[in-house]
Structure 1
Amino acid sequence: MPSVEQTQPLISHLLELRSRLLRALIAVLIVFLGLIYFANNIYEFVSAPLVERLPQGATMIATDVASPFFTPLKLTLIASIFIAVPFILYQVWAFVAPGLYKHERRLIMPLLFSSSLLFYCGVAFAYFVVFPLVFGFFTAISLGGVEFATDISSYLDFVLALFLAFGIAFEVPVAIILLCWTGATNPKSLSEKRPYIIVGAFVVGMMLTPPDIISQTLLAVPMCLLFEVGLFFARFYANSSARQN
């Protein structure tokens, strides 16, 4: 039976975890309340890459009665989470930091910052580069006699999936650094496996994007480039870990 001394640290850790989770949820709620007034504007901004490329006279449609109300709110909630990502990651950092050595805390802080930045870069790349090309391709190949009309809920699900796919894909450098830092692998081994990783990037692009070669390539190529970036910086983290050991 665990002693009181053994039980108290566990309880304190659970209370600390609850406190960090509540702070993260409150941050998301505050951002959501601040954006809710602009919910329709946010949806118009996100839908612009498709609306601007619709055929003459075509519009987006709502097949459900409540879609015009709930769809912008859903997007606003997701946007609130995206915006609060740095604060959420900081709460994760504050929870695990006391259990880390000083040199580990010094190395992890840049990773948290870069992971947020890379996620936003992935979302921005999807919106400004991928969406115009993909929607231009889809609207250009519409069948004759078939009116192009996209449901607003279906469109939101589609773009959120792409946002998430590109946001996660752009985290490749952070994943490589963590793998090398923890000793799961090393930069030399990863560089030797480069051909397989390139093939894997195109397979991931095929699975995470719509079935068109444009979006698949636009996801795979940045992943390959980011792999090289992660490989470069992983050498510093691997050397630092080796010196500490």
Structure 2
Amino acid sequence: MDQTFFFQHVTELRKRLMVVLGAYVMFLIVGFLNVGAIYRWIMKEADLKLAVLGPSEILWVYFMLASTCALACTIPLAAYHLWAFVKPALKEHERSVTMLFIPLLFILFVTGVLFGYFVVFPKVLAFVVTLSDGMFQTMFTAEKYFRFLLQLTVPLGLLFELPAIVLFLTKLGILTPTMMTKYRKFVYLALVILSAVLTPPDFLSQLFVLIPLFLLYELSILLCTWVYNRGKQRSYA
């Protein structure tokens, strides 16, 4: 009986993963067909012209821009199927609260990417360009430029998902405020290392990344505490 129950869950999970994968491919195709508009929007504020060194580089830019847009569009659907998969194990009030997880993931991801694009990326790029002043003739290829851009913005988008993930894990009883407070210093150390990897070695650029990440973690602790206490109140009622 237990084995049958296990295989039913595995089958359901596989079906949901296939739906999410199919949606990602569909969004990827749509993004690929609209790369021109996406490219013009991204480069609208950039005061430079990009070069390409061959046909493969053009295809790489198309694929990377389309895949990033597809990822952003697939996140809400993936969150819904994750929620639907664990929904039978949740109580009625838990289902309504964790339903917020779906739009929240998308909003936070887009916020993180926009923060990276409008705040972090210009400062990092300006710093890197100043390093070549008087030494090199600066010319950017499309592949190098967008690789650098995506390496900064996409990780920030994923890191901004932290409050939504905390909400979900707290409702499932996996995470508690005590755990988050206990390991705060280790998380802060990891964030400092991460900001050092993502940004150039100057204090100002690292602060632009660190401060929002610290605030996000503190916000996540408050969110975890609120959800945890509400759960305890309901269990005593």
Range of TM-score over shorter length: 0.7 to 0.9
How far residue 187 of structure 1 moved from its aligned partner, in angstroms, is 5.5
The alpha-carbon deviation at position 64 of structure 1 amounts to 4.0
Q: 1:218 aligns with which of 208, 211, 230?
A: 208
Q: Which residue of 2 aligns with 1:66?
A: 56
Residue number in structure 1 paired with 2:158: 168
3-state DSSP class of the match of 1:207?
helix
**What value does the CA root-mean-square deviation take over the aligned residues?**
2.8
- The number of aligned residues is 234
Q: Measured at CA, do residues 188 and 10 of structure 1 come closer, stay the same or move farther in structure 2, by a change above 3 Å?
A: closer
Query: Normalising to structure 2: TM-score of the pair?
Result: 0.83
Alignment of 1:164-243 (within 5 A): 164-177=154-167, 182=173, 184-186=175-177, 190=181, 198=188, 200-243=190-233
Cα deviation, residue 121, structure 1: 0.7
Equivalence for 2:126? 136
Determine which of 17, 30, 37 is the counterpart of 1:34.
30
- C-alpha separation between the residues in 1 aligned to 2:82 and 2:168? 16
**Deviation digits for residues 142-163 of structure 1, max 9, x if unmatched?**
2314111122222222222212
Shift of 1:207: 2.7
Unaligned residue ranges in structure 2 (runs of 5+)? none
Q: For the structure 1 residues 204 and 8, does the alpha-carbon distance in structure 2 shift closer, same or farther, using more than 3 Å as the test?
A: same
Q: Is residue 7 of structure 2 the alignment partner of residue 16 of structure 1?
A: no
Task: Give the CA deviation at 1:106.
Answer: 2.6
Higher mean C-alpha displacement, 37-46 vs 181-190: 181-190
Query: How far has the Cα of 1:204 moved from its partner?
Result: 2.6
Q: Secondary structure at the residue paired with 2:50?
A: coil
Tell me the TM-score normalized by structure 1: 0.81
Kindly provide the amino acid, as one letter, of the partner of residue 206 in structure 2.
Q
Structure 2 CA distance for aligned equivalents of residues 29 and 173 of structure 1? 28
Structure 2 partner of 1:123: 113
Q: Is the 8 A contact 2:51 2:142 kept in 1?
A: yes
Give the equivalent residue in structure 2 for 1:81. Answer: 71
Shift of 1:87: 1.1
What is aligned with 1:107? 97
* Structure 1 Cα separation of the partners of residues 6 and 162 of structure 2: 33
TM-superposed deviation, 1:184: 4.3
State whether residues 133 and 214 of structure 1, in contact with CA within 8 Å, keep that contact through their aligned partners in structure 2.
Answer: no
Give the C-alpha shift of residue 220 in structure 1. 0.5
Q: CA deviation at 1:39?
A: 1.4
* Whole-angstrom distance in 2 between the partners of 1:69 and 1:146: 28
Paired amino acid for 1:43: Y
**1:28 counterpart letter in structure 2:** Y
Give the superposition deviation at 1:169. 2.3
Contact 1:187/1:231 (8 A) holds in 2: no
8 Å CA contact 1:162–1:208 kept in 2: the answer is yes
Match of 2:82 in 1: 92
Q: Identify which range, 8-17 or 219-228, moves more after superposition.
A: 8-17
CA deviations on 1:32-77 (whole Å, 9 max, x unpaired) are: 232322213323433455x42x4xxxx3222344111332123212
